[in-house]
Amino acid sequence: MLKALDFKKGTEKTTPHHVLFVELEPCDSNPQENQATWAAQLSCTYDALMRQKRCWYSDLRMTNVLGETVIYPVKKGGFSRLREHMFQKFNVSLSQLKLPRVMKNPDLLEIIIKEITTYD
């Protein structure tokens, strides 16, 4: 099971890297395998586009300062459940509530980690 600590900036053993959570629609009879395949393809596509569009990203990747992006598919409705939790916890109107681009709050990170689609 993944923990919030696993997503912190790199340690001695791991290179810092981008982590993206995406909600994918299953489109065949084996949705978990399909999501694993899509997540891997998205990771490669994201990396290629970032290298092409952002020279600083390309430099960081070429010098191994930044590792390959990891994309985790989340269950359908995972972001809605995260938003609902934020709405209840922070007591703001839904129109003012935005999902963070960078999750630094360990509680929110734990919620989205629990939404990760597992494929073994």
pLDDT in tens, 94-117: 788 888 888 888 999 999 999 998
User: What are the φ/ψ torsions at residue 12 (nearest 5 degrees)?
Assistant: -60, -30
Q: In this structure, what DSSP letter does residue 8 have?
A: S
Provide the whole-model pTM: 0.74
pLDDT value, residue 53:
95
Residue 120 pLDDT greater than 60, yes or no: no
Query: In the prediction, which pLDDT does 78 show?
Result: 92
pLDDT tens readout for residues 10-58: 444 578 988 999 987 766 555 566 777 888 889 999 999 999 999 999 9
Taking the C-alpha atoms of residue 16 and residue 68, their distance in angstroms, rounded to an integer, is 9
Which residues neighbour 35 within 8 Å (Cβ) at sequence distance 6 or greater? 24, 26, 73, 117, 119
- For CA atoms 90, 95, 98, 112, the dihedral sign is positive
Which pLDDT tens digit goes with each residue over 51-78?
Answer: 999 999 999 999 999 998 999 989 989 9
